Amino acid sequence: MKKIILVPSNLGLNPLYKGHTPGTFRAPSVLMQYGLDKIFSHCEFVTVPCPEYSPEDEPGTDILNGHKLRKLNLQLADEVEAAHRRNLKPVVIGGDCAILPGALLGSRRNLGKLALVHIDGHSDFRHPGNWTREPGAQPGAAAGMDLALVTGRGESLLTVWPGIEGPLVQDNAVIQLGERESRLEDYEWPDIADTDILSITVFDALELSDNQLMDTIYGRLNLFPEIPYWIHLDVDVLDSAEMSAVDCPGTPGFSSKKLVNLCRELFMNMRCCGITVTIYDPDLDHEGAAAKLVLGMLRNITHDI
């Protein structure tokens, strides 16, 4: 059985222009309008309330909404931990991807060490080693930091958690799948290549069959056969031809068919302890096509055949 945890958050995203409020916080409610509750009709639903978004600085942090994000992630961790205690598999639906620390924290509390399959069109590896906030610049958006944060890189506000020693996940237990910007001259976080994280770019992944790609992923996961793994799915990993309702759409990307095949096999494995699905923005989905695509993918990834 599964527990559906809705996290209507946009705290991790910078505004695109003055006065803009990122629309990812509306994703759970819009998905409910399109039938999310019917897809998971036999599951418990819970919503983690999100603090109000602000584009302004917060004292004591260079991360946008940093203190609010800590509060939100601690609340999410409580819900994820409660799910595990009842032997329910959490399906966490955002919202933006700065909710990943809370999902892993809740799992760590109950399950111990974890591995992570981070499926995202961007590595989200911004941290003080490759980024410095210039005087007068906007605070950093945590949605571009989530992988760095969960591997222990960044402000203690979002890397140090009660009861957890060290990072939420070790580098060598992470697979990052789907990065599409690594060939650009201004690629923001090339230092990920200097870590023990297994990086599989979208270019490499699209050259592999589904079986070859799964073999590569399990090759790393099976170095740690005794620990469970979490799936993080940011839907901007889809090619923009299918998914444009995200803040940073792009190409190349996965087809929904290939992505579902991959995520379904990972999710149905007994070692999988949960999934986060993030970054769908209803404000960019005027006809509802992207909502229907996300719902269809959720159904096909998580449901028994």
Give the Cα separation of 111 and 107 in Å (integer): 6
Segments making up each domain of the chain, as ranges: 2-302
| pLDDT value of position 259 | 98
pLDDT band at 305; cut points 50, 70, 90: very low
Sign of CA dihedral 92, 130, 152, 228: positive
Q: What are the angstrom distances between the C-alpha of 222 and each of 96, 104, 124, 176, 243?
A: 29, 19, 24, 16, 32
Report the candidate in 142, 124, 120, 121 with the shortest Cα–Cα distance to residue 133: 142
Yes or no: say if 102 and 150 are a contact pair by the CB < 8 Å rule. Answer: no
Give the Cα separation of 198 and 294 in Å (integer): 27
In 283-300, which positions are buried (b, 16+ CB within 10 angstroms) versus exposed (e)? bbbeeeebbebbbebbeb
Give the Cα separation of 253 and 260 in Å (integer): 13
In 69-86, which positions are buried (b, 16+ CB within 10 angstroms) versus exposed (e)? bbebbbbbbebbbbbbee
Task: Show the tokens assigned to 211.
Answer: 């079986």
Radius of gyration of the chain (CA): 18
The pTM assigned to this predicted structure is: 0.97
Question: Does residue 131 or residue 275 have the better pLDDT?
Answer: 275
pLDDT band at 134; cut points 50, 70, 90: confident
Q: Could you give the 3-state DSSP secondary structure of residue 44? A: strand
At residue 166, does pLDDT exceed 50?
Answer: yes
Contacts of 192 (CB under 8 A, 6+ apart): 123, 125, 147, 176, 199
% of residues, the chain, pLDDT over 90: 94
* Per-residue pLDDT tens over the stretch 54-96: 999 999 999 999 999 999 999 999 999 999 999 999 999 999 9
Q: Could you give the 3-state DSSP secondary structure of residue 275? A: strand
Give the Cα separation of 110 and 6 in Å (integer): 20
Helical residues (DSSP H) of 43-114, grouped into ranges: 66-85, 100-111
Question: Does residue 77 or residue 130 have the better pLDDT?
Answer: 77
CATH topology of domain 2-302: Arginase; Chain A (3.40.800)
Give the Cα separation of 210 and 175 in Å (integer): 16
* CA 31 to chain CA mean position, Å: 17
Length of the chain as a residue count: 305
Q: What are the angstrom distances between the C-alpha of 113 and each of 95, 202, 276?
A: 25, 27, 18
Yes or no: say if 117 and 266 are a contact pair by the CB < 8 Å rule. Answer: yes
* Per-residue pLDDT tens over the stretch 136-150: 788 999 999 999 999
| DSSP letter string, 243-272 | ---SSS--SS-B-HHHHHHHHHHHHHSTTE
* CA 57 to chain CA mean position, Å: 24
At residue 41, does pLDDT exceed 90?
Answer: yes
Give the side-chain half-sphere CA count within 13 A for 220. 24
